[in-house]
Structure 1
Amino acid sequence: MRGPLSTPGRQAAAMAAGASVLAFVTVVAIPPFYDWFCKVTGYGGTTSVAAAAPGPVLDRVMTVRFDASRGEGMPWEFRPVVPEMEIRIGETGLAFFEAWNPTDKPVAGQATYNVAPDMVGGYFTKVACFCFELQVLQPGERVQMPVSFYIDPGLADDPDAQGVEAITLGYTFHLADLPAVQAATN
């Protein structure tokens, strides 16, 4: 007769403990590492962040398209003010996205972003962006939110990017928890 500490029981307990550790690492440790990896390498179309454009502005012109979407449950209306613009590589661009809260309650949102094609994500650099901070819109509030960016001149030297003529900057707004101060008043 096998007791509670039998070999198969120990193996099952060890496997359960291992699965728990793996689940914890997958949920807690890997996403920040992946986010860091994407920001450093531009993998997955993740953009870079800088304080200002690098200096040289090239003659090569790129089309930058803007895309806006909403995550599940986000009640806002969200759109780019201008769907696309032409910009020279190295030149600082300024685009605006508009959000509107049609509800009768304050709603908080956080934007995630991506650049396509993926291979140019590391060359697309944001100087300032509404996506860096939580956004809270009051009932009926409509706002225009800026994003300042440039395309790094290093793109022109990348043989894999020679055929790229257009870049799409996409944002998805996700529903977020209201800050404690605003949640307490509602």
Structure 2
Amino acid sequence: MTTATLDRRNSRVATLAFLGALAMLGLGYAAVPLYQLFCQVTGFGGTTQKASESEANLAAQFARSAGTREISIRFDASTARDLNWSFAPAQVTETVQIGVRDMAFYTARNNDSVPITGSATFNVEPEYAGRYFNKIQCFCFTEQTLQPGQQVRMPVLFYVDPAILDDENAKDLEQITLSYTFHRSIDQPGDRAE
């Protein structure tokens, strides 16, 4: 084997290794958004669905015509350690008719001496119910900024999709838990060093 042939082979291997590393880096950056998209589409991991007004109206029409059953919704709230907020549901449980829109409220209060922006993450338990839990409007869709001492009531407009009635896993389901955790938003003025 000549030196020129060996150099070409080494150059090809180096190029392939570099392209492979670039591909892995690209997949690393794409993994989080792709996973989030997967969870939103399938309800995996208790991820709830986002519904439009027209979808909610269709579900309500079905519920009225079919006389669907009721289900208990449990509301849960917590905050990350670095967020000096009080955060709680206005009501811990509520019974709703499947397919019919309902509204729940959460209360948040900034206990700090500076304005703080927070964002809420959420999930549903049991996990398989996430694909049937539809939010029409929610404080979790946008960041929330609270001034020092400010307290706000934040609504969640939701319904449980009547398709849950056809799911064998859900035939004995009596309660769905909707959980929120507020986190301090990243890169906001006044962030504390950890």
Match 1:56 to one of 57, 62, 65: 62
Q: 1:146-165 to 2 correspondence within 5 Å?
A: 146-165=155-174
SS in 1 for 2:27: helix
Give the unaligned 5+ runs of structure 2: 1-6, 8-12
State the shift of 1:25 in Å: 2.6
CA contact (8 A) 2:135 2:156 kept: yes
State the shift of 1:16 in Å: 9.1
CA deviations on 1:21-42 (whole Å, 9 max, x unpaired) are 535532x201111111111111
SS in 2 for 1:127: strand
State the shift of 1:75 in Å: 1.2
**Which moves more between the two structures, 86-95 or 17-26?**
17-26
CA deviations on 1:111-130 (whole Å, 9 max, x unpaired) are 01100001111000001000
Give the unaligned 5+ runs of structure 1: 6-10
Letter aligned with residue 25 of structure 1: L
SS in 2 for 1:56: helix
Separation of aligned partners in 2, 1:20 and 1:77: 44
Letter aligned with residue 137 of structure 2: A
Report the counterpart of residue 24 of structure 2 in structure 1: 22
Is 1:75 matched up with 2:80?
no
More helix by proportion, 1 or 2? 2
CA contact (8 A) 1:114 1:171 kept: yes
Separation of aligned partners in 1, 2:68 and 2:19: 59
CA deviations on 1:110-162 (whole Å, 9 max, x unpaired) are 00110000111100000100000010000000001000000000001111210
- TM-score by length of structure 1 reads 0.83
Separation of aligned partners in 1, 2:76 and 2:21: 39
CA contact (8 A) 2:46 2:127 kept: yes
CA contact (8 A) 2:68 2:99 kept: no
C-alpha spacing 1:75/1:20, structure 2 compared with 1 (3 Å): farther
What is the percentage of aligned positions where both structures have the same residue? 42
Separation of aligned partners in 1, 2:22 and 2:183: 28
Which 4+ runs in 1 deviate beyond 2 A? 14-26
**Which moves more between the two structures, 92-101 or 71-80?**
71-80
Q: 1:174-185 to 2 correspondence within 5 Å?
A: 174-177=183-186, 183=189
Report the counterpart of residue 32 of structure 2 in structure 1: 31
Report the counterpart of residue 87 of structure 1 in structure 2: 96
C-alpha spacing 1:77/1:18, structure 2 compared with 1 (3 Å): farther
Is 1:135 matched up with 2:137?
no
Separation of aligned partners in 1, 2:186 and 2:37: 24
CA contact (8 A) 1:107 1:178 kept: no
Letter aligned with residue 173 of structure 2: V
**Which moves more between the two structures, 56-65 or 96-105?**
56-65
Report the counterpart of residue 65 of structure 1 in structure 2: 74
State the shift of 1:81 in Å: 0.8
**Which moves more between the two structures, 103-112 or 65-74?**
65-74
